[in-house]
Structure 1
């Protein structure tokens, strides 16, 4: 039976790759998008809702499907205001998880970050960790938290410092093996492939770290 997928953040780096993968996937008959700007992707499968993402909770009647992919996220460089940053990286995923619980959606996959820890002294890691815990409190049957390392790929907006960091990470990847392998940078399409795989086949862990994400994606090759 064909399913309905909901994607939050389809205009973002990883979300855009995921959308491209789900369109030809015959397991999905409809893909519902919630975002603040249009994807400009044409497909008869797509149902697109342009909304204020901070008001996602007001759209419960449209938030109905079989699986939700939450690819929402920002950076401290892009969003220096901590209050707004938290509304994006904590508020939106947690609201989406609550809507899943209310509408009996049994699968919720969310992108967090490697190093997420609710007890961290670093605001970014602490926010991600608190988001993870709040999501899991909703008791969604199939909840999976993806914890990628630095995400590679080219963004539409230019982030010079992030670009330099990514180049350094690419070089560092050659010496990161064993326990350090999970800190290697990861391509957004690799994350998208893993999201697609786990949504269909599940996984034996709730929290999936970066090296595991790569392994899942490679198994699909």
Structure 2
């Protein structure tokens, strides 16, 4: 599967089949997370694989009672080590760089799982203290996400997305080009054609209005 195809077709899955995930696939997913970029290449994260039924139930309960999670046969809990980033980059490292690195690792894992034919969901709503307790985490560690993994038992429709020209500026905030799509790839010609046709139509309407007004005035 091509990278962009994986990005575009990945979905958040909340219904899973009663089918186990091969350990080789789980390791491959975590390997993908390992290769994510991180500030100073600190790689200040740990991945906790959870397969035990009771532990998964406890984590699902800690995730604000999201009981659907229990059906997924595997969880990967992403735990940050902010103290490592703080040692080199101060509070910005702990509060920002750590989150950025873990997020990159999580997305790598989601896309790799999808390429292996597996479904995932990135869970960010949880009682962190409760997950600390369930997993026996040291106090200085920070839970960043719980990823559910399994074989999808649903095929969600693509969610609506904004058009790219509504999400970008050039050079500065609110920076625009007259015809942004002429700079944005294969759809540029079509967009310019629509604009040109609109201008022609506006000229025709303007001409007809002028002629109509002229006739009205000549009759008086």
TM-score (norm 2): 0.26
Please state which structure has a larger fraction of its residues in strand. 1
TM-score (norm 1): 0.26
Greater Rg by CA: 2
| Relative contact order higher in (CA < 8 Å, ≥ 6 apart) | 2
Please state which structure has a larger fraction of its residues in helix. 2
